[in-house]
Amino acid sequence: MEQPRPLITAESIAARVAVLGTEIASQIPEGQLTVVGVLRGAFVFMADLVRAIPRPHRCDFLGVRSYGDATLSSGIVEITSDLLLPIEGDHVLLVEDIVDTGLTLRYLIEILEARRPKSLRVCALLSKPSRRRVEVPVHYLGFEVPDQFVVGYGLDAAQQYRHLPYIAVLE
């Protein structure tokens, strides 16, 4: 197995997550907040993020699978496991691992908007802006990364490396 090269340390991630949590708690208007994590990539980030949001909120998950080549987004996403909670009238925060072309996120936003939340904001751990093919809103962003394949802290390559406590580049 290839040896990943560390890119963002666990300490930098923790510091950024703390800032994001505070911003999210204070900037999202009053009312019911539901945090929705996209499985599986966002599970580690979401676990840390919700503990940094000092405000009552509900947690739910959306299981998705992209069709086709894992490294080449088609934007066609299959919902493998839907939300358990209704989100109509809620302030929803969608939590993603990484926004690459933006196609997956655009699709997920469309699905969630159809359920009439009061507001919908996006928090992504990582973004590769140079790869964007469609414009998508990312209200809260952890880090921008270069156009390289990254793993760790929930992100995988063929289901490996998700457990790494830092973010690394697969050479």
Tell me which residues are annotated as active site: 100
**Residue 170 CB, nearest approach to ligand IMP (Å):** 8
Nearer to ligand IMP, 26 or 47 (CB): 47
CA distance 144 to 147: 10
CB of 131 to ligand IMP, least distance (A): 7
CB 142 within 8 Å of CB 14 = no
Where in 107-136 is the site for Mg ion (CB under 5 A)? none
Closest distance to ligand IMP from the beta carbon of 123 (Å): 13
Q: Is 142 one of the binding residues for Mg ion (CB under 5 A)? A: no
126 with 152: CB under 8 angstroms?
A: no
Q: Which residue, 41 or 117, is less far from Mg ion as judged by CB?
A: 41
Segment contacting Mg ion (CB under 5 A): 83-91, 95-103, 105-113, 156-164? 95-103
Give the separation between CA 113 and CA 160, rounded to whole angstroms.
32
If binding is defined by CB under 5 A, does position 41 make contact with Mg ion? yes
Residue 152 is a binding residue for Mg ion (CB under 5 A): no
Euclidean distance between CA atoms 102 and 129, whole angstroms: 9
SS3 11: helix
Q: How far is the CB of 104 from ligand IMP (least distance, A)?
A: 3
Neighbours of 30 (CB within 10 A): 7
Only one of the segments 16-24, 40-48, 76-84, 86-94 lies at the binding site for Mg ion (rule: CB under 5 A); that segment is 40-48
Tell me how far apart the alpha carbons of residues 81 and 91 are, in angstroms, rounded to a whole number. Answer: 21
